């Protein structure tokens, strides 16, 4: 991995791996050299586990945004057997921040909807860094309604810092289109599985995130706002993004404890960016199992359960009795 893409807390791991690589290339290793190689491999594994088990919320954000983390197009290639892309919203154009199309997962036809950030500058410019315009959400909803019509389950991969924040998107009703998606997705009579694979930011994420089963990858995050946005509002300075990240409670562990999500999908040791194929295998197993379970539920019951699921988010119970305040 290029040094420029290494996160600060990862560097000791990569330095040790570089030392290991040099030792392994030595010809005719002695027994002592073989022991050193074995011990170094164990130390690398221990170091990875220790570092990644103790990441704070801000470090988790850095992993979720890692330049080499697998994106939607990577999973399309590694998880699904086929993919036929469907373009356009039938009104304005084809937003490249959201990909839609028919795919196959272990022989099961599905409607795929996923947010794509891009890797190169050209790709990111085309995809608006994963920030969709109104036409992107209209495109997604149009294809999801098609899936409902033909009894095809829906898979949504979420990876965005938020919807596009520009004037053009506001003028064309970005908030309205996201709200329409929330309403219509809640009523679709077909199974919907949503997975946050990287960033799950604000309305941009929830615009394709109303599902029957919500999963988050271990080092992804799912939040009402980015840490920088929260810091800018509350502290008037993005330098407090670290504090905001900890306060927002948006890591996969927090989300599971709060009942916001249904499942945390484990990542390879050291993060998904270390092993795309292993991450894809885990994601595929989760998608297949959850789709199989959801497809056995009657459609009307599925919609009722989905409604109740989202109504329960944010509920809490008060205990004890409040003492009256004297005048």
Secondary structure, 3-state, 124-178:
HHHHHHHCCCHHHHHHHHHHHHHHHHCCCCEEEEEEECCCCCCHHHHHCCHHHHH
DSSP-derived 3-state class of residue 64: helix
DSSP string covering 92-128, please?
Answer: S---TTEEEEEEEETTEEEEEEEE---SSHHHHHHHG
State the pLDDT at residue 318: 67
In 9-97 the beta strands, taken as DSSP E runs, fall at 82-85
Distance separating alpha carbons of residues 324 and 271, to the nearest angstrom: 52
State the pLDDT at residue 327: 46
- Backbone φ and ψ for 291, nearest 5 degrees, come out as -65, -45
Q: What is the per-residue burial (b if ≥16 Cβ within 10 Å, else e) of 36-50?
A: eeeebeeebeebbee
State the pLDDT at residue 2: 65
DSSP-derived 3-state class of residue 26: coil
State the pLDDT at residue 326: 53
Token readout for 93 is: 């154009």
Token readout for 54 is: 């103790």
Distance separating alpha carbons of residues 140 and 164, to the nearest angstrom: 15
Neighbours of 199 (CB within 10 A): 25
Q: Which residues of the chain have pLDDT under 50?
A: 327
Q: What is the per-residue burial (b if ≥16 Cβ within 10 Å, else e) of 57-70?
A: bebbbbbbbbebbb
Distance separating alpha carbons of residues 6 and 64, to the nearest angstrom: 13
First to last CA, the chain: 68
Q: What is the sign, positive or negative, of the torsion defined by CA atoms of 4, 5, 10, 12?
A: negative
Are 100 and 112 within 8 A, CB to CB? Answer: yes
State the pLDDT at residue 325: 53
Q: What is the sign, positive or negative, of the torsion defined by CA atoms of 139, 282, 251, 59?
A: negative
Neighbours of 285 (CB within 10 A): 13
């Amino acid at each position: 991995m290029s040094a420029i893409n290494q996160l600060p807390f990862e560097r000791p791991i990569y330095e040790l791996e570089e030392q290991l690589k040099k030792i392994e290339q030595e010809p005719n290793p002695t027994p002592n050299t073989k022991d050193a190689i074995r011990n170094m491999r164990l130390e690398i594994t221990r170091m990875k586990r220790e570092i990644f088990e103790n990441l704070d919320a801000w470090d988790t954000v850095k992993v979720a945004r890692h330049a080499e983390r697998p994106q939607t197009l990577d999973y399309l290639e590694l998880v699904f057997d086929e993919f036929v892309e469907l373009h356009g919203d039938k009104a304005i154009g084809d937003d490249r921040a959201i990909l839609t199309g028919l795919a196959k997962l272990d022989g099961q036809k599905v409607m795929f909807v996923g947010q794509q950030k891009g890797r190169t500058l050209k790709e990111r410019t085309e995809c608006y860094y994963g920030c969709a315009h109104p036409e992107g959400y209209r495109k997604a909803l149009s294809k999801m309604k098609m899936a409902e019509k033909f009894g095809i389950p829906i898979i949504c991969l979420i990876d965005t810092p938020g919807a596009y924040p520009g004037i053009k998107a506001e003028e064309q009703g970005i908030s309205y289109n996201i709200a329409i998606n929330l309403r219509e997705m809640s009523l679709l009579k077909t199974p919907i599985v949503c997975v946050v694979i990287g960033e799950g930011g604000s309305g941009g994420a929830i615009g394709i995130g109303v599902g029957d089963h919500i999963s988050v990858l271990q080092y992804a995050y799912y939040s009402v706002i980015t840490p920088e946005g929260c810091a800018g509002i509350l502290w008037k300075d993005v330098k407090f993004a670290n504090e905001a990240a900890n306060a927002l409670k948006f890591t996969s562990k927090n989300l599971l404890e709060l009942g916001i999500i249904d499942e945390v999908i484990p990542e390879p040791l050291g993060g998904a960016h270390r092993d795309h194929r292993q991450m894809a295998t885990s994601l595929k197993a989760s998608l297949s199992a959850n789709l199989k379970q959801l497809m056995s539920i009657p459609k009307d019951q599925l919609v009722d359960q989905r409604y109740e699921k989202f109504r329960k988010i944010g509920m809490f119970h008060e205990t004890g009795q409040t003492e009256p305040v004297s005048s």
